[in-house]
Amino acid sequence: MEIATKYNPSEVENKWYRYWMEKGFFHSEPDEREPYTIVIPPPNVTGVLHMGHMLNNTIQDILIRRARMKGRNACWVPGTDHASIATEAKVVAKLMEEGIKKTDLTREQFIEHAWSWTRKHGGIILEQLKKLGASCDWNRTCFTMDEKRSESVIRVFVDLYEKGLIYRGVRMVNWDPAAKTALSDEEVNYREQQGKLYYLRYRIVGDDSYAVVATTRPETIMGDTAVCINPNDPKNAHLKGKKVIVPIVGREVPIIEDEFVDIEFGTGCLKVTPAHDMNDYILGEKHNLETIDIFNDDGTLNRFGLQYEGKDRFEVRRLIESDLQEAGLIEKVEPYENKVGFSERTNVPIEPKLSMQWFLKMEKLAKPALDAVEDDTIRFYPAKFKNTYRHWMENIKDWCISRQLWWGHRIPAYYLPQGGFVVATTKEEAYQKAMEKVNYHLSIDDLRQDEDCLDTWFSSWLWPVSVFDGINCPDNRDITYYYPTNDLVTAPEIIFFWVARMIISGYEYRNEACFRNVYFTGIVRDKLGRKMSKSLGNSPDPIELMNKYGADGVRMGMLLTSPAGNDLPFDESLCEQGRNFNNKIWNAFRLVKGWETANVEQPESAAVAVRWFEAQLVKTIESINDSFDKYRISEALMEVYKLFRDEFSSWYLEMIKPAYGQPIDRKTYDATIIFFDCLLRMLHPFMPFITEELWQALEERNDGESIMVATLPDAATGWDANCIEGMEEAKEIISNIRMIRLQKNIPNKEPLKLQIVGDYASCYFPAVEKMANLSVIEKVSEKSSGAVSFLVKTAEFAIPLGGSMNVEEELEKLEKELKYYQEFLVSVLNKLNNESFVSRAPVKVIEIERKKQADAESKIKSLQESIAALK
């Protein structure tokens, strides 16, 4: 296979991804091998690839490719989420552009528009993942609203309802006025907002004085049905048993007493608006207060808003402040910072609202899911997220699962003409249930299905089970083989939305954990530490990055600074570093494949290099395995990166490289090809495209062969620590000689002598001789006069320089260096002579300081001898 002069990522990537697809390497079917399963966190069907997806899916692909190369039956299930709120908003916006309002359409007409939009845009992000190299089993692609997943969702709703875990009732919910739907608590983000605290005057009935009430929301006074004081508050004791008049509204409301009121907040008087505040709702229930809902679903005021009817809530806040000031009913206004809840989807302030909704009881369901994480049946990486998970699970609330939307799984509840309802998987089944329930004539057309649809998360919480059709067919071949899945890679911000709920559903429907490990990625941030987002304009286009640096370059750039659970400070220069590494691999390959071979004797320098690199390779494999076991994926990449860049390219290839125009011996060449093959296989999960290209070119391959199904190198043979330690000393000797050449301006082509002062032996001297261009290595009892010396550990080495040195310059440099080490030794001895330091410091710290002392004393002795020799 002819190898190009330069690496062209786009040509290579398209060629090999097509090859992998054609050969079916991504596809998995149950067999006798051990399975390894990942289910993709399904991206929104509305979405396009962003940097968070890039990081998450790169990590998943690394794990799945590694498992495949370890001989496991690897199955990575892809898919998308129907994303009720986001998709409905996109479709409504598209229709508006065409001059069509949602309200002009029937539900069925709107759903058809939504399906049309989904069919057109829904596959974009999955196609983009292919460019990244994602080795998903595309034959298994799922959609949360496809037939099997939809059937699963409806079955689960009916099952949980029949178990008494789903109920319907009027509750205070988080209302999104933009999306016009209820939200769960987890879909609300609280942010500090600078607002105002308004002190309003409520005139006391039968009196000319006022009760002053502090509020941040004067626009809700039309819904006030009481004012509450703390019975233990002496400053408001005169209000007990009285009534006050709500400003502007003119309604008389009672003063009620409850210890819930914070005496220190404001004036200690609390306006009670049961329809529009969670705590007020509780007070209203307790004290049997009237509930007046003053808002329409879009956040405008309704008829109870009096003269403000039809106006937006925030516009009313501005108007009512002016009106109250004019009426003399505002005591004062102060700046005030408080937490305001925003919709996670539409980013507008949510409105607490009483609404008839469907809920799922969570307390009992959550217990096995909490235990599974607590006892490490399911492990979190990093483990710090166990605390976050525990806090939420121990304080879990019932889940509001209904949404006032059309796009989604319609709630399978059917209302009867004379009251009541039945829950069933189909209308026909509902009719049969209804007939058993009523004693009057009923036709199937008399049943009216609930208008609401289910929360999107109610489908995705079943994902690890439903992708294998484990709800509809609980004993099918796929679910029994692939479940439980192995690893989940996701973001910590959906630990409640998705991770916890999947664990809950896994125990409810399979009676076991749905995955064994959860790897939490960090947030991708820019150089200023800001989260990357479209609104800030600080997020690069991943497709453009891959076009510029290649998929492998970007994959590597994403992982270079991406420890589990910690944020990723992304810089485009990381992708450039990834591309440069691609080029280094490519050029190293061209160098090796460009050598001529001959049946000549293997030089000793090459023999020791082969022995050393074999040990280094096995040691690194062990270390990489350990990093993967601990889900330190960035560290694993860094280990193989350094192995190739530093040990293989900078040292090993230089040690074995034949002289210009000369052939390399066959024994060394064959070993080098084996090493290159191992390195490519180790790199493949991280950099799939370039490794496939070079592996195919490394030797003759048959059609159907691929590095992605080749075996990952293992560390079964163990490694020689002495061999590696000896080479590290040899490297230090070589580096010192090179530094002397640099400092003394001695050309590399000029051979030097190396003197060993004392007794020191190394099997690596042949490599030292070659790499440092030495004419001879000799043992001496005393170094030559004028020689430049250096230490490696406690052994002294010297390079005789003869007359090629400026003695005065050298003396000045040596005396300066001597002074530095003498001062350094004094500082170390001061520590060691300090009884307080020695008695308190750990043993290891004392050992380090004593080693510093020994090294400094040895260095000082060597420098003094060098100076004496020159004088």
Contact 324, 308 (CB under 8 A): no
Query: How far is the C-alpha of 119 from the C-alpha of 123, rounded, in Å?
Result: 7
Nearest residue to 115 via CA among 138, 143, 140 = 143
**Which are the contacts of 179, defined by CB distance < 8 A and separation ≥ 6?**
85, 88, 89, 343, 345, 346, 405
Higher pLDDT, 658 or 266: 658
CB 521 within 8 A of CB 59: yes
Nearest Cα to Cα of residue 452 among 415, 400, 411: 411
* pLDDT (tens digit per residue) in 773-801: 999 999 998 888 878 889 988 889 999 98
Confidence at residue 184, expressed as pLDDT on a 0 to 100 scale: 78
CA distance 53 to 231: 55
Q: Is the pLDDT reported for residue 412 higher than 90?
A: yes
Contact between 482 and 75 (Cβ < 8 Å): yes
Do residues 740 and 755 touch, judged by C-beta distance below 8 A? no
* C-alpha 120 chain-centroid distance: 29
The structure tokens listed for 363 are 């307390």
472 has a pLDDT exceeding 90: yes
Task: Output the CA torsion sign for 210, 213, 214, 217.
Answer: negative
Dihedral pair phi/psi, residue 495, rounded to 5°: -60, -35
Q: What is the pLDDT of residues 476-530, one digit of tens each?
A: 999 999 999 999 999 888 899 899 999 999 999 999 999 999 999 988 888 788 8
Hey, what amino acid is at 309? E
Condensed to tens digits (0 to 9), the pLDDT of residues 738-777 reads 998 888 878 888 999 999 988 888 888 999 999 999 999 9
Helices (H), 327-415: 363-374, 385-394
As a residue count, the chain comes to 871
Q: Give Cα 791 to chain centroid, integer Å.
A: 46
State which amino acid sits at residue 188.
V
Distance, CA of 201 to CA of 331 (rounded, Å): 6
Distance between CA 135 and CA 673 in Å, rounded?
27
* Max Cα–Cα distance, the chain, nearest Å: 121
Q: Which two tokens stand for residue 44?
A: 């929104």
Rounded distance, CA 333 to CA 200, Å? Answer: 9
Residue 301 is given by DSSP the state B
What stretches of 483-541 show up as alpha helix (H) in DSSP? 501-509
pTM across the whole model? 0.82
561-587: average pLDDT: 86
Cβ atoms within 10 Å, residue 369: 26
Residue type, 470: G
Per the DSSP assignment, residues forming a β-bridge with 201 are 212
One-letter amino acid at 737 equals I
Kindly state the percentage of the chain with pLDDT values over 90. 64
pLDDT score of 435: 92
pLDDT band at 535 (very low <50, low <70, confident <90, very high): low
Q: How far, in Å, CA of 797 to CA of 812, rounded?
A: 21
CA 328 to each of CA 255, 324, 335, 368, 732: distance values in angstroms, whole numbers, following the listed order? 22, 6, 20, 59, 85
- Whole-number average pLDDT of the chain: 91
pLDDT in tens, 260-317: 888 888 788 989 998 888 888 888 888 888 989 999 999 999 999 899 999 999 999 9
Nearest to 111 by CA among 362, 378, 410, 343: 410
**373 — pLDDT class (breaks 50, 70, 90):** very high
First to last CA, the chain: 64
Report which residue type is found at 338: N
What per-residue confidence (pLDDT) applies to 763?
87
Name which of 314, 77, 90, 145 is nearest 216 in CA terms: 314
Instruction: Name residue, tokens 């307390």.
Output: 363
Give the model's pLDDT for residue 859. Answer: 87
**pLDDT beyond 90 at 660:** no
Q: CB neighbours of 217 closer than 8 A, spacing ≥ 6?
A: 273, 276, 317
What is the percent of the chain with per-residue pLDDT over 70, rounded to a whole number? 98
pLDDT given for residue 473 in this prediction: 96
Strands 379-381 and 243-245: unpaired
Q: How confident is the model at residue 563 (pLDDT cuts 50, 70, 90)?
A: low
Rounded Cα distance between 693 and 677, Å, is 12
* pLDDT higher than threshold 80 for residue 124: yes
**In the numeric block, which tokens belong to residue 296?**
């329409």
pLDDT confidence of residue 525: 85
Predicted pLDDT at 188: 83
Decide which of 370 and 761 is more confident. 370
d(CA 327, CA 248): 8
**494-525 core/surface letters (b: 16 or more CB in 10 A; e: else):** bbbbbbbbbbbbbbbbbeebbbebbbbbbbbb
Give the model's confidence band at 564: pLDDT under 50 very low, under 70 low, under 90 confident, else very high: low
Residue identified by tokens 């600080």 is: 538
More confident of the two residues 719 and 401: 401
Per residue in 589-612, pLDDT (tens digit) is 999 999 999 999 999 999 999 999
Stated as kind and residue range, the H or E segment containing 176 is strand 166-176
Residue with tokens 């440069």: 580
Element (H, E) at 428: helix 427-437
Going by pLDDT thresholds of 50, 70 and 90, the confidence category of residue 121 is: confident
Long-range contacts of 825-832 (CB under 8 A, 24+ apart): 825/853, 825/856, 825/857, 825/860, 828/852, 828/853, 828/856, 829/853
Tokens of 118: 């989904």
Q: Report the C-alpha gap between 121 and 43 in whole angstroms.
A: 13
SS3 of 722, please? helix
pLDDT in tens, 125-167: 999 999 999 999 999 999 999 999 999 999 999 999 999 999 9
Whether the predicted pLDDT of 805 surpasses 90? no
